[in-house]
Chain A
Amino acid sequence: MSATGQSFADLRADGLYVEGGVRRGSFELDLSLEVRPGEVLGVLGPNGAGKSTLLRVVAGLEELSRGAVGVGVQAWQQPGLFVPAEQRRVGVVFQDYRLFPHLDVRDNVAFAARSRGSGRAASRAHAQQWLERLGLAELAGRRPHQLSGGQSQRVALARALALEPEVLLLDEPMAALDAGARIDVRTFLRAHLADFAGPVVLVTHDPLEAMVLADRVLVLEAGRVVQQGTPAEVARRPASAYVARLVGLNLWIGTLGADGLVGLDDGGELAVATEAPQGRVLVSLRPSAITVHTEHPEHTSTRNVWPGRVTSMEVLADRVRLQLTGAPDALADVTPAAVAELDLEVGREVWLSAKATEVEAYADHAQPRRAGQLD
C-alpha cells in the first residue's frame, strides 16, 4: 500500500480516493479509483459487478476488508480507522430514493440539518432554500407517497445536496423511472451535477446515462476495473464484451500482425487500417458498417469479406439487427428495405463485407487478466 501516498498525492486537495477491496464469500471487489473535485465518474457494469458495494464503501455503510477511503486530507478508512456513515459528509441518492414516508418533502430535505443539531425552524428554512434552488418548492408539503418517480428522484437529490456533502453518490438514478421521466430527470441531473463542486460517483448500467452525465467512465466487471476512459473512448473502443454489447458494437480479440491483418482468436481474419501496435488487440466494428450480400461480392475494393448465416433478426426502430454466425460471428444492421430486397430470414446463408477503415483495432490492456476470453 506504499503507492497510495504517492499516486494520490495531488488528489489530497479534495478528491475522492478508494483503494482496496471487499471480500464476501465468493464475491471480491478489488479496485483503485480517484475522482477529482467537480468530476462525475460514471461506474458502469453488469449486475453483481460490485457497483453498489463500491458506493456503500464510500458512504461508510460498508467497510473495506483492506485498503483506504478518503477525501482530500481526510481519511475515512485506513488501517485502524473507520469513520461511520453519519460522520462522513457523503450525499447518497439511493436507487429506491428512500425518502422517509412519515415526513413531508420539506422535512425530508431538512433531515440532515436537524441531525446535525440545527433547530426545526432553521432546518426547514434551509431545506426550503434547497427546494427552491432545485425548483421543487411546490412539493414542500407533500408526503413521499404523493410524488411521482421523477419527483421522488429530484427530492432525493435535494435531500442529499442539502447535507452539503463533500462527495455525492448516485445509485442507478434512473433505473426505476419510465422513459418519459428519464429524459426530464437526466436533464435535471445534468444541470445540478454541474453545480456541485465535489467529486460525484454515478453508478449505472445504462450506457446512455453514463455517456450523458459522466466526465469519465469506469467499467467494473466481477469486482475488477476492466476499463477507464472518457465516455467517447469507452464507447468507441470497448475493452469488454459487456460494454461492446451495451454500446452495440461488434468486439473481437486477436493478434495483429505486420501485414495489417488481425488473426481473431475465435476464427477468421480482419484487415485493419488503424495504426495499432502489433500484438494482442481488441477489434471493434459498428454493426451498421457491415454490408450484407446474398452472393459473394465480385467487384469490390473491400478487403474484409466472409460468409455467414443469419441466426436471429430483431427490429430496432428504423433498422433490423441481424445476428450472424461465421468467422467471425457478427452483428449487422440493415434497413427493413434491404431485408425485403435480399429476402433475409433466419437460416439464410449470406456474405458479409466491411471496409478496413471501419475496423478499429486497439491494444488490449486488460489482456493479462482476461486469459484470452472476452466473455
Chain B
Amino acid sequence: MTTRQQRTPWPLGLPALVGAVLLVVPLVGLLVRAPWDGLTRILGTEEVLDALWLSLFSATLAMLISLVLGVPLAWVLARSTMPGLRLLRALVTLPLVLPPVVGGVALLLVLGRNGLVGQYLDSWFGITLPFTTAAVVIAETFVAMPFLVIAVEGAFRSADQGYDEAAATLGANRLTVFRRVTLPLIRPALVAGAVLCWARALGEFGATITFAGNLQGVTRTMPLEVYLAMETDPDAAVALSLVLLAVSVAVLFALRGRWVGGGGAA
C-alpha cells in the first residue's frame, strides 16, 4: 500500500515553509534566549508570584463563570426556537473577533464609575469595579466565554436528541434530561471548551489593562507582568513568557484529539 512519493510544487512548498518558520522560530528563540540559570530567582520574586497567582485565580474564576452562564446560553442558542436567535448568536460570539482592547473600553463605559450601569453600582451599593480583581475576572470572562459557548453550542446542536426523547418517555423532566443525559453526552466538547476558555482567559491582555488597570497583586496578571518586564528587565520577561508557553503546551496536550473530535463519545 505504498503511495508514490509526490513532490510538493514549490509555489505551495515555499510559502508553507516560510509560514512554519514564522510560527516556530519565535518559540525556539524564547527557549534559546531563556535565562535558564536565573530562572528560579526571577520566578521566585514576590511580584512574579503575585502575578502568577492572580492569573491562575482569575482565569479559573472566569472559566467557572463561563461554565455557569455559557453552557445554558449555548443550550438556548442551540435548542431554543425563539426569534432573533441568529442575531443573538452573532452578538455573543462577537468578542471572538473583537480587538480585546475595544472590549475593555466597552466594559469601562458600562461598568466604569460613571458608566451606564457602573454609576448605579457605585451610588446604590458603593461598588466600584474598575481597577479591582473583579474587573480582571469580568474582562477575562468577556473575552473568553465565547470560546466555550461556541464549542458547547456546536455539541448541543449535533447531539442526538433521540436520547432526550427517550429520557422524557422514562419520566425525566427537561431539567433532569439536561443534567443526566444532554450534558454527559457533550462532555468532551464541554471539557475542550472549558480548557480553551481558561487558556484564553489566562492570556488576556487588552481588555484587562484597559478595564482593570495594572496594579501589582490586584490586577497585574502574567501577560501584563511580561509586558512591563520587557521595559525594565528583559530576562524576567523571557522567563515569564516561558511559564506561559509551558502552560499553553500543557493545554494543547490536554486537548489533543478533543477539539476536533469534540462531541464524540467520552
| A residues in contact (CB < 8 Å) with B | 59-61, 84-92, 94, 96, 98, 100-102, 111-112, 114-116, 145, 159-160, 163
In the assembled complex, B36 has its CB within 8 A of some CB on chain A: no
Q: Contacts of B170 on A, CB cut-off 8 Å?
A: 86, 111-112, 115, 159, 163
A residues within 8 A CB of B265? 101-102, 145
Q: Kindly list the 8 A-B residue pairs having the minimum CB-CB distance in the complex, ordered from nearest.
A: A98-B166, A115-B172, A85-B168, A115-B171, A112-B170, A102-B184, A92-B169, A86-B168
Given the known inter-chain contacts A102-B185, A115-B176, A145-B265, please indicate yes or no for A61 contacting B169, CB distance below 8 A. Answer: yes
Is B162 an interface residue, CB under 8 A from the partner?
Answer: yes
Chain B residues, Cβ within 8 Å of A163: 169-171
Q: Considering only CB atoms, which chain A residue lies closest to B265 in the complex?
A: A101
Q: Chain A residues near B173 (CB, 8 Å)? A: 86, 115
Once bound together, how far apart are the Cα atoms of A181 and B181, in whole Å? 29
| B266 interface contact, C-beta 8 A | yes
B64 on interface, CB distance cutoff 8 Å: no
Q: Which residues of A contact B169 (CB under 8 A)?
A: 59-61, 85-86, 88, 90-92, 160, 163
B181–A100 touching, CB < 8 Å = yes
Distance in Å: Cβ of B163 to nearest Cβ of chain A: 6
Interface digits, B144-185 against A, CB 8 Å rule (1 contact, 0 not)?
000000000000000000110111111111101000110011
Write the nearest CB–CB distance from A123 to chain B, whole angstroms: 11
Interface residues of B (CB under 8 A from A): 162-163, 165-174, 176, 180-181, 184-185, 187, 265-266
Q: Contacts of A90 on B, CB cut-off 8 Å?
A: 169
A160 partner residues in chain B, CB cutoff 8 A: 169
Q: How far is the CB of A218 from chain B (nearest CB, A)?
A: 22
> Given the complex of chains A and B, what is the CA–CA distance between A237 and B117 in angstroms?
78
A-B contacts counted at CB < 8 A amount to 65
Q: Is A112 within 8 A of B171, CB to CB?
A: yes
Q: B172 contacts A111, CB within 8 Å?
A: yes
CB distance from A90 to the nearest CB of B (A): 6
Q: Given known contacts A85-B169, A102-B266, is B162 in contact with A96 (CB within 8 Å)? A: yes
Q: Check if A84 sits within 8 Å of B181, measured CB to CB.
A: no
Contact A101 B167 (CB under 8 A): no
Contact A98 B266 (CB under 8 A): no
Docked pose: A85 CA to B162 CA in angstroms: 13
* Residues in A whose Cβ lies below 8 Å from that of B266: 102
**Cβ contacts under 8 Å, A88 to chain B:** 169
- Within the complex, the shortest CB–CB distance from A223 to chain B, in Å, comes to 22
Q: Give the distance in Å from the alpha carbon of A91 to the alpha carbon of B168 in the complex.
A: 10
* Nearest residue, chain B, Cβ from A163: B170
For residue B238, give the distance in angstroms from its CB to the closest CB of chain A.
Answer: 45
A85 touches B165 (CB 8 A): yes
A-B contact pairs, 11 of them (CB 8 A): A84-B168, A88-B169, A91-B169, A92-B169, A98-B165, A100-B181, A101-B185, A111-B172, A115-B173, A145-B265, A160-B169
C-alpha gap A236/B142 in the complex (Å): 71
Given contacts A85-B169, A87-B171, A115-B170, 16 further A-B contacts (CB under 8 A): A59-B169, A60-B168, A86-B168, A86-B169, A86-B172, A86-B174, A88-B169, A92-B166, A98-B163, A98-B165, A100-B166, A101-B185, A111-B170, A115-B171, A115-B176, A160-B169
What is the distance, in angstroms, from A95's C-beta to the closest C-beta of chain B?
Answer: 10
Contact A111 B167 (CB under 8 A): yes
CB contacts (< 8 Å) of B165 on chain A: these are 61, 85, 98
User: Could you tell me the distance between the alpha carbons of A60 and B163 in the complex, rounded to whole angstroms?
Assistant: 15
Chain A residue numbers with a CB within 8 Å of B162 are 94, 96, 98
CA distance A111 to B167 in the complex (A): 8
CA distance A84 to B171 in the complex (A): 10
Q: Distance in Å from the Cβ of B6 to the closest Cβ of chain A?
A: 38
- A88 to B172: give the CA distance in the assembly, Å: 11
With the chains together, A94 CA to B174 CA distance in Å?
A: 19
Q: Are B171 and A94 closer than 8 Å at their CB atoms?
A: no
CA distance A112 to B185 in the complex (A): 18
CA distance A111 to B180 in the complex (A): 9
Residue in A111, A159, A163 whose Cβ sees the most chain B Cβ within 10 Å? A111
Smallest CB-CB separation from B162: which chain A residue?
A98
User: In the assembly, what is the distance between CA of A159 and CA of B181, in Å?
Assistant: 15
A31–B166 Cα distance when bound, in Å, is: 25
B224 to chain A, nearest CB (A): 41
Do A114 and B180 touch across chains, with their CB atoms under 8 A apart?
yes
Give Cα distance in the complex from A111 to B173, angstroms: 12
Who on chain A is nearest to B166 by CB?
A98
Nearest Cβ on chain B to A154's Cβ, whole angstroms: 16
A268: min CB distance to chain B, Å: 49
Of listed A61, A87, A102, A159, residue having the most chain B CB within 10 A? A102
Which residue of B is nearest A109, CB measured? Answer: B170
Cα distance A86–B266 in the bound complex, in angstroms: 27
For A115, list chain B residues within 8 Å (CB).
167, 170-173, 176, 180
Decide: A102 and B166 in contact? CB cutoff 8 A. no
CA A316 to CA B185, docked complex, whole Å: 46
A59 vs B168: C-alpha distance in the bound complex, in angstroms? 9
- A99 to chain B minimum Cβ distance, whole angstroms, is 8
A116 touches B166 (CB 8 A): no
Q: Which residue of A lies closest to B181 (CB)?
A: A100
Within the assembled complex, what's the spacing in Å between the Cα atoms of A268 and B167? Answer: 56
